[in-house]
């Protein structure tokens, strides 16, 4: 049972597929029966559209005086569409947006925080994994709630158990430390007589720097978000670790290998050319489908947590939440009271109700941001590594973020591309990125009105 089959079953079974009690309607909601229509901009297209339509159908049964008009958006210039809608003064009552847009809109005083509404309705935010909620805290307020998970993008890696066995490694104990990764990479990487890689153990990649930084007890920015902090000893050590992988693999040999193999999303891993892959949760559908189609054993892969620096006594495996994505749902400021209430009820239904955050995530085989919904035993039948993913969620922290997040993250990634290519030393990349990010921070804080 995979992908489209799961979606079909989920829709047919409706909310019964997630075996938890449905909470009663909110008392506040029952006080007004005036018909209200709200627009909902979202990016749930393709196979996810019928799932979201089902959620809206259930919501409208619960609150029959509220009509939700779902307006699925295209993927071209997502940020431009979101910001333009508010700039033109015609935003929908509920807008799906990413962390970077949410904080930018908050800075513009364009959206309403939900801190008081959460308190009013007695929502226990402990239902979420901590980083899932903390990812949407900014400037002393909570601005949104997550769906899907903000995390599981930079907190784990997948590994091929079959290749681990062939290399003499324990397939049930993937490397947990930096030295363990280097040793496993040595055993897993194979070359032909000309030195060309035929099987890659661990790929060196720019995106690994930030989670390796956090898994060395480092941090991206200072607590007040005004200064760069990743050029610390912890950051330099994380950069050196990536540099060790780069030298082991040889930049030209790794690039040649990736050029020769099918390196579209997860394919080299699925085809047994890469023994491990640091990817996000969305690749699981591809991997699980491959197992089904080829009649491969369902547990051919495993999940490892983010490796940490065992030489640092304060370091531990730490996942990072919200580097670039992280979907939430926001309301414009100054909505009429009846529309604001309807919008809040819909956001709350999407993100905290079993018929929303439970149904939608299970139907995709992905963990929910809410712990309780992940207790559904059907998850384990779908994905043998599911509990390891939940452990990864528990390790995560939300990285510091500002409306200029792109100007913070891009210099880091771009400079580490040069490390991967072998043209720049790791510590030099850190220094260059730190200078660029600090310039961006100084400009931001100089113009922001407090």
Residue 293 pLDDT greater than 90, yes or no: no
Nearest in space to 144 (alpha carbons), one of 122, 125, 164, 126: 125
Residues with Cβ within 8 Å of 169's Cβ and at least 6 positions away in sequence, in order, are 184, 187, 188
Tens digits of per-residue pLDDT, 143-200? 999 999 988 888 999 999 999 999 999 999 999 999 999 999 999 999 999 999 999 9
Task: Assign 9 a pLDDT band (cuts: 50, 70, 90).
Answer: very low
Kindly report whether the global pTM for this prediction surpasses the value 0.85: yes
Per-residue pLDDT at 344: 98
Mean pLDDT of 65-94: 95
Per-residue pLDDT at 284: 75
Per-residue pLDDT at 53: 97
| Sole residue written with tokens 């940020």 | 79
Nearest in space to 147 (alpha carbons), one of 318, 366, 339: 366
Per-residue pLDDT at 13: 41
Mean pLDDT of 337-354: 97
Higher-confidence residue of 1 and 410: namely: 410
Task: Assign 17 a pLDDT band (cuts: 50, 70, 90).
Answer: very low
Taking the alpha carbons at both ends of the chain, their separation in whole angstroms is: 53
* Pick from 23-32, 122-131, 138-147, 199-208: least confident: 23-32
Per-residue pLDDT at 33: 82
Please calculate the CA angle 174-179-184 and round it to the nearest 5 degrees.
Answer: 45
In order of their start, the domains of the chain are: 3-150+324-387 (3.40.190.10), 156-318+404-447 (3.40.190.10)
Per-residue pLDDT at 325: 77
Per-residue pLDDT at 378: 86
Rounded to whole angstroms, how far apart are CA atoms 201 and 184?
7
Task: Assign 369 a pLDDT band (cuts: 50, 70, 90).
Answer: very high
Task: Assign 286 a pLDDT band (cuts: 50, 70, 90).
Answer: confident
| Sole residue written with tokens 């309607």 | 25
| 199 close to 163: Cβ distance less than 8 angstroms | yes
Tens digits of per-residue pLDDT, 296-315? 777 888 999 999 999 999 99
Mean pLDDT across the chain: 89
Task: Assign 12 a pLDDT band (cuts: 50, 70, 90).
Answer: very low
Structure tokens at 370: 């809410």
Rounded to whole angstroms, how far apart are CA atoms 421 and 344?
48
Task: Assign 214 a pLDDT band (cuts: 50, 70, 90).
Answer: very high
Rounded to whole angstroms, how far apart are CA atoms 1 and 381?
9
Per-residue pLDDT at 8: 45
Q: Give all strands (DSSP E) within 161-266, no chain letters.
A: 190-191, 197-199
Taking CA atoms, 324 is separated from 83, 183, 318, 340, in Å, by: 17, 31, 17, 28
Residue 104 pLDDT greater than 60, yes or no: yes
Q: Is 42 exposed, middle or buried (0-12, 13-18, 19+ CB in 10 A)?
A: buried
Per-residue pLDDT at 26: 52
Higher-confidence residue of 22 and 427: namely: 427
């Amino acid at each position: 049972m995979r992908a489209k089959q799961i979606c079909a079953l989920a829709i047919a079974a409706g909310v019964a597929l997630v075996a938890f009690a449905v909470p009663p309607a909110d008392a506040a909601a029952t006080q007004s029966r005036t018909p209200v229509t709200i627009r909902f901009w979202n990016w749930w297209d393709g196979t996810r559209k019928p799932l979201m339509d089902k959620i809206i159908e259930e919501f409208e049964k619960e609150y029959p005086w509220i009509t939700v008009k779902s307006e699925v958006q295209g993927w071209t210039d997502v940020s431009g569409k979101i910001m333009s809608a508010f700039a033109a003064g015609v935003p929908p009552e509920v807008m799906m947006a990413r962390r970077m847009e949410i904080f930018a809109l908050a800075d513009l005083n364009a959206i309403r925080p939900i801190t008081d509404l959460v308190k009013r309705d007695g929502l226990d935010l402990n239902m979420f994994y901590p980083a899932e909620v903390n990812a949407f805290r900014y400037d002393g307020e909570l601005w949104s709630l997550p769906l899907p998970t903000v995390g599981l993008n930079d907190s784990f890696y997948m590994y091929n158990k079959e290749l681990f066995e062939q290399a003499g490694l324990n397939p049930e104990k993937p490397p947990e430390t930096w030295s363990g990764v280097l040793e496993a990479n040595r055993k897993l990487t194979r070359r032909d007589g000309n030195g060309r890689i035929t099987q890659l153990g661990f790929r060196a990649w720019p995106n690994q720097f930030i989670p390796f930084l956090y898994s060395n007890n480092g941090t991206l920015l200072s607590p007040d978000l005004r200064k760069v902090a990743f050029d610390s000893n912890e950051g330099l050590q994380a950069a050196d670790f990536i540099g060790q992988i780069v030298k082991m693999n040889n930049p030209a040999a790794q690039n040649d290998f990736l050029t020769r193999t099918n390196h579209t999303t997860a394919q080299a891993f699925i085809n047994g050319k890469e023994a491990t892959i640091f990817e996000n949760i969305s690749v699981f559908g591809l991997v699980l489908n491959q197992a089904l189609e080829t009649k491969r054993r369902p547990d051919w892969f495993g999940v490892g947590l983010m490796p940490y620096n065992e030489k640092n006594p304060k370091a531990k495996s730490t996942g990072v939440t919200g580097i670039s994505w992280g979907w939430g749902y926001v309301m414009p400021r100054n909505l009429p009271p009846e529309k604001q209430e309807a919008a809040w009820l819909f956001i709350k239904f999407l993100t905290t109700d079993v018929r929303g955050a439970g149904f939608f995530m299970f139907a995709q085989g992905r963990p929910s941001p809410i712990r309780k919904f992940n207790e559904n035993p059907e998850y384990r039948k779908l994905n043998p590594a599911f509990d390891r993913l939940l452990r990864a969620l528990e390790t995560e922290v939300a990285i510091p973020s500002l409306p200029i997040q792109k100007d913070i993250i891009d210099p880091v990634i771009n400079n580490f591309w040069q490390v991967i290519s072998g043209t720049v030393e790791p510590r030099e990349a850190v220094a260059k990125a730190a200078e660029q990010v600090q310039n961006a921070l100084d400009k931001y804080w100089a113009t922001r009105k407090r």
